[in-house]
Amino acid sequence: MKEEHLKEIPEVTELPDSWWYRVYLGVIISNILVILALGTFAYYFSN
Amino acid sequence: MKFLDWAIVAVYLVYVIWDGIRMTKNSGNVEGYFLANRSLPWWAVGLSVMATQLSAITLVGTTGQAYSDGMRFIQFYYGLPLAMIILCVTAVPFFYRAKVYTAYEYLENRFDAKTRTLTSFFFLMSRGLGVGVIIAAPAVILSIILGWNEITTIFVIGLTTTLYTMIGGVQAVTWTDVKQMVIIFVGMSVVLFIIFSSLPNSVSITDGLHLAGATGKLTTIDTHFDLKEKYTIWSGMIGGLFLFLSYFGCDQSQVQRFLTAKSVGQGRTSLLMSAFLKIPMQFLILLIGVMVFVFYQFNQPPMIFNSVQADKAQISKPAEYNALQSEYETINQNRQKAALEFVAAEKQADETLTATAKQNYLEANNQFAASRKKASEFIKETNDDKNFNDVNYVFPTFVIENMPMGVVGLIIAAIFAASMSSVAAELNALATATTIDFYRRHFKKEGTDAEYVKFGRIATAFWGLFACIVAIYATNLGSLIEVVNKFGSFFYGSLLGVFVLAFVVKRARARGAFFGLLFGIASVWIASFYTDIEFLWFNVIGCLATVTAGYLISLTVVEDSK
């Protein structure tokens, strides 16, 4: 068996919920921007 | 296809089997075989989530849809990011911390064994049939494109995928998914680049997009509210939200992906990867379809993209077919001329001239669309095939006829990859649910890891063969595909309702969940038969009916502790 398989898997420290809420907000804002960009793209080339 | 193309497809198939099979290490125990010992990095899980959702029919059908109907389909995905966030807050930590193997196992912890077994049974039924369709749809197209027998194509996709999934388990599925996603991305990017460089010298990319935009092919937001309209921002944001909540949160083929992640955080990140990338990726695929449309403004497109149906009709009624073909070619030449005039007028920046040229182009394009519709009606009537539709053949035919040697092989490999990545995840999930929710729960509670892994491999082989047999019938019975899709939509919203009861409604009890699920399915059944509501809304109806009925029935349960 290779050495790395003998190593203990390190305990994973989970990030706090407050950090995740900021990530979710980032996801929502970026997707709103993406949808607005798609709308602008369609408007620009359709007129 | 040239020798190099065949070689690329052959190398891809051999590589994917070898790559899958060599993943057998750490798959000897039950957690390793079904959950990769919960050790996979977020990016691999995230790519696997995306590869599982992106089936071959999505890849080929979406480009074809963009060619004929434009980008409206992208609205279907607008609810996905929000669905992913909701699942990151609820399903991911709940499932992960409960240390379950299947989503349905969680329902036994929360409610009872009866609810778990019923939901798992619905999953096996709908996905067992669904995976046959996932194989059948690209097999029909590839058999025409490659000149293979349909059954050969079905078994090439079905058995190669079954082989590496059976031996390597979830690790084989995930790591081959990663490589298959790379092949798909590279293939699609190369096609887009070649289309861009194939436009006439006098036509730039923006000119091409203006042509597509003038015909309404670039619509990405439709605010019109109509329950009978398939793709609007409302059906995407609301219906799509419920569909993606059910698919990513309650379907074992997706739940199993994020259960293999190293931690709750990595599971969340893998889902958020889709939240970030899905809409741009779908835009890229749709853009290829739109650019195929632009490409054919300056080249002669086939009148009918399904060559087998076209040949059949031409043999039956040669005079009528040739007359239609001749008329179609003349109309296409007129459209080509009008397109070039429109592009030239725009460059002169003369508003009156541009408006006139645009009007002429739109008229020529409408005539072209009418001519193609007429040809399509002729095929329906001549071949006695009321369901005839060649949208799914647009992209493969375009690739075979217009892409250079090597790229054709790459794209055919990408279509195989898209199909196999979805099929592998489905087979793995079906085997997991069969082993964990039925064999281990009801038949062999005290078995060893070796016994469960062995049973998991047998279950994978069984579902692989079952899917191939379903696929053989699905290619002959077009309506079966519709039946399977409808059956899936009955199941999805209602199952989501059970999980909403489990996660959110504290007062929910086992009896409420069980009968609420049955009530939800019955509600969708009634809605589908007695209304014209589009299928995306079934997910909303099923979920709301299940939650409402489940909650009310739960109120009738008298607590033991009282």
- Rounded Cα gap, residues B551 and B111, in angstroms: 13
Cβ–Cβ < 8 Å for B312, B383: yes
User: What span, in angstroms and rounded, lies between the C-alpha atoms of B517 and B474?
Assistant: 28
What is the total residue count of chain A?
47
Cα separation of B403 and B406, whole Å?
A: 8
Helix axes B113-146, B394-402, angle to 10 degrees: 40
User: Residue holding tokens 């729960």?
Assistant: B441
Q: Do B262 and A12 make contact, defined as CB atoms within 8 angstroms? A: yes
Which residue reads 């929000």 in tokens? B82
B-chain CB neighbours of A47 within 8 Å are 213
How far is A19 from chain B, CA to nearest CA, in Å? 11
Using DSSP, state whether B428 is helix, strand or coil.
helix
Residues near B404 by Cβ (< 8 Å), separated by ≥ 6? B194
CB contact under 8 A, A28 and B82: yes
Q: What are the φ and ψ backbone dihedral angles of B316, each rounded to 5 degrees? A: -70, -45
The residues facing B443 across adjacent strands are: none
Which ipTM was obtained for this model? 0.84
Residue B378 three-state SS: helix
Helix (H, G, I), strand (E, B) or coil at B40: strand
A34 to B280: CB separation less than 8 angstroms, yes or no: yes
DSSP state at residue A9 = P
- When CB atoms are compared, the residue of A12, A27, A42 closest to B263 is A12
Side chain identity at B527, as an amino acid letter? Answer: A
Measure A38 CA to nearest chain B CA, in Å.
6
Ramachandran angles phi, psi of B40, nearest 5°? -85, 145
d(CA B75, CA B559): 45
Strand partners, B40: B261
Closest chain A residue to B78, measured at CA: A35
pLDDT per residue rounded down to tens, chain B (562 residues): 788 999 999 999 999 999 888 877 777 889 999 999 899 999 999 999 999 988 888 888 888 889 988 999 899 899 999 999 999 999 999 999 899 999 999 999 999 999 999 999 999 988 898 898 888 878 887 887 788 888 999 998 999 999 999 999 999 999 999 999 999 999 999 999 999 999 988 889 999 999 999 999 998 898 888 777 778 888 888 888 888 998 899 999 999 999 999 999 999 999 999 999 999 999 999 999 999 999 999 999 999 988 888 999 999 999 999 999 999 999 999 999 999 999 998 888 788 888 899 999 999 999 999 999 999 999 999 988 887 888 888 888 899 899 999 999 999 999 989 999 999 999 999 999 999 999 999 999 888 999 999 999 999 999 999 999 988 887 765 545 555 666 677 788 899 999 999 999 999 999 999 999 999 999 998 988 888 887 778 888 999 999 999 999 999 877 655 4
CB B435 within 8 A of CB B452: yes
Residue of B35, B85, B271 to mutate, interface with A, max A Cβ within 10 Å: B85
Q: Are B190 and B202 in contact (CB under 8 A)?
A: no
Using the Cβ of A47 and the Cβ atoms of chain B, whether some distance falls under 8 Å is answered with: yes
Q: Which of A20, A30, A44 is opposite residue B268, by nearest beta carbon?
A: A20
Whole-angstrom distance, CA of residue B549 vs CA of residue B518: 9
Neighbours of B61 (CB within 10 A): 21
For residue B423, what are the CA distances in angstroms to B137, B398, B452, B471?
Answer: 12, 25, 22, 12
CB atoms within 10 A of CB B377: 12
The reported pTM is: 0.88
Question: What distance in Å separates the CA atoms of residue B82 and residue B239, rounded to the nearest whole number?
Answer: 12
Distance from CA of A22 to the nearest CA of B (A): 11
- A4 inside 8 A of chain B by CB: no
